[in-house]
Amino acid sequence: MNRPTSDINLWTGNPPITDGRLHDFVADPIGCMRKLHREHGDLAALRESEQQLVFIFSPELNHQVLSDSKLFHSRFFALRGPKKSALRRLTSGLLTMNGDEHKQQRRMVAAPFEKRTIGVYHDTISSMTDEMLDAWQPGATLDLSQEMTVLMRRITSSILFGADQMEIALEIGEMLDPWVEVNHHLSLGAFLPTEDFMPRYEELLALAERLESRILDLIRFRREAGRLGSDLLSQLIRGHDQTGGVSNEQLVGHVAVLFGAAHMTSALTLGWTLFLLAQHPEVMSSLFRELLAGVYDEPLAAFDGGKGLLLDRVLRESMRVLPASSYSQRSNAVPMELGPLSLPRNTVIIFSQFMTQHRPDLFPNPETFDPDRWLTIAPSPYEYLPFGAGPRLCLGAPLALMTMKTILPRILRRYRLSVTDGAEITGRVVSTMLNPIGGLPVEICKQDGRFAASPVSGNIHSLVDLPEAAQERRAAA
């Protein structure tokens, strides 16, 4: 049988391989990818002993890998656990499925996320956002990252599981974050063990047991309530009980993975977007004028308005320059050739939203936060891919966008957010997600339109170019 090959000519001279430590990638994914891209271009491999990670950095390679779901399989969770373990069941959701199983199960869970149906969630999103804002006090300092995480857990819990199970759903959300983090932290240790691998692996298995137990409690409570609603959990239970279309294992896996993916990415995007607006007063002033003009007063106005509205361009640009998901991965189902690289079956192939969306040939001055660039550009799905691309494009993208476009105007009408002077803002990739390590501290002020950037320190300056006023402390550091 012929091995699949790539017909994209991406290299000259020596094979694009760097011999090093795979854990260098775990420690600093963005720094490692930038170095590999400088050394090798759009195709690179990091090799240690007999193991390697392959990296793709171009839209052409993104298209090749992401459009072919038969050859390139999802590899969201590298560690699945023993066959009958809670960890195996929790990692049996949509993100780990491939082929016909993925297509069938994607259809089963798609309805709550479709553009034609998501408008019904507007009132829930609005009321929960207002409850958060009512608790804010002018003059107080808050961590935007924490506030957005809690808000998105509540909203996601209501949409996916129904408002009547809020307490247990929030508990599940709090358990999911460390479970996902430990799984990804250990992923490379699965084939290059470190001294702490076994203790942390045992921790992961124990976390999975507790998490599965609470998910099963949630499912049981919903059944015992005697009625099934329109939320995702109710639809999955119907699929399990009436048609057998969803197995017990898949039911648990869908609940875990969809809830985790839904609240984490939106919370991070909201936090980074509010930070960028606070640090770019000219953009915020223009957006404030639209708010005063009532552009976003009608329900769903921000969602239906499209690219003509500044809020849409702000979100697009925020997700470009500081994407919540900085990279993801696939693995090849059969041995193949990719350029000069010979890939054994199940080689890990990394594609990166951050790296692709920071290419100067696609986005001039890529580190600049410039929402108006979207007035003149129309990148392909493989050039701009905050929600992925191809057959595995995130099915929750319309709901996520509607949610964020509902939340942001409500916050910005009531409050002016000022980043704490001298705050250390550090963006670090944890579990593929670009997290603000140490939080996003802001002072809450009644909205008065007096926008100004604040001096900050931290590695945020290596990720995005901030205005001069925000860089004063950097020069003094």
The DSSP bridge pattern shows strands 328-332 and 348-351 to be: antiparallel
Q: What CATH number should be reported for the domain holding residue 231?
A: 1.10.630.10
Judge whether 5 lies within some domain: no
Q: 224: Cβ–Cβ under 8 A, 6 or more apart, which residues?
A: none
Judge whether 396 lies within some domain: yes
Chain position carrying tokens 């950097």:
474
Integer Cα distance of 226 and 375 in angstroms: 51
Judge whether 31 lies within some domain: no
Do residues 394 and 388 lie in contact, with contact meaning Cβ atoms separated by under 8 Å?
A: yes
Judge whether 471 lies within some domain: yes
Amino acid at 241: D
Name the residue among 269, 384, 391, 251 with its Cα closest to residue 330. Answer: 391
Domain total of the chain: 1
Do residues 239 and 245 lie in contact, with contact meaning Cβ atoms separated by under 8 Å?
A: yes
At residue 229's C-alpha, the angle toward residues 406 and 300, to 5°, is 15
Q: Which two tokens stand for residue 217?
A: 């409690």
Domain range enclosing 113: 82-323+390-476
Q: Tell me the DSSP string of 245-289.
A: -S-HHHHHHHHHHHHHHHHHHHHHHHHHHHHHHHH-HHHHHHHHH
Integer Cα distance of 58 and 311 in angstroms: 28
Name the residue among 351, 343, 345, 431 with its Cα closest to residue 47. Answer: 343
On the 0-12 / 13-18 / 19+ scale of CB atoms within 10 A, 220 is exposed
- Cα-Cα-Cα-Cα dihedral of 437, 429, 74, 47, to 10°? -150
Integer Cα distance of 314 and 302 in angstroms: 12
Integer Cα distance of 477 and 472 in angstroms: 9
- Cα-Cα-Cα-Cα dihedral of 455, 466, 286, 140, to 10°? -30
Amino acid at 346: N
68: left (phi over 0), alpha (psi -120 to 50) or beta: beta
Judge whether 73 lies within some domain: no
pLDDT by residue for the chain (477 residues), tens digit each? 455 555 454 555 578 999 999 889 988 999 999 999 999 999 999 999 888 999 999 999 999 999 999 999 987 776 788 888 999 988 887 878 888 888 888 887 777 677 777 888 899 999 999 999 999 999 999 999 999 999 999 998 888 887 777 888 888 888 888 888 788 777 765 555 566 677 888 888 999 999 999 989 888 888 887 777 777 788 778 767 766 666 777 778 888 878 877 789 999 999 999 999 999 999 999 999 999 998 888 777 666 666 679 999 999 999 999 999 999 999 999 999 998 999 999 999 999 999 999 999 999 999 999 999 999 999 999 999 999 999 999 888 999 999 999 999 999 999 999 999 999 999 999 888 999 999 999 999 999 999 999 999 999 999 999 999 888 544 443
CA distances to 20, 403, 446 from 294, rounded to whole Å, are 55, 19, 18
Integer Cα distance of 157 and 443 in angstroms: 28
Q: Tell me the DSSP string of 50-78.
A: TEEEEEE-SHHHHHHHHS-TTTEEE-S-S
Judge whether 192 lies within some domain: yes
Q: What are phi and psi of 305, to 5 degrees?
A: -70, -25
Judge whether 130 lies within some domain: yes
Integer Cα distance of 99 and 28 in angstroms: 32
Do residues 395 and 112 lie in contact, with contact meaning Cβ atoms separated by under 8 Å?
A: no
Judge whether 286 lies within some domain: yes
On the 0-12 / 13-18 / 19+ scale of CB atoms within 10 A, 320 is buried
Q: Taking the model in full, what pTM does it have?
A: 0.92
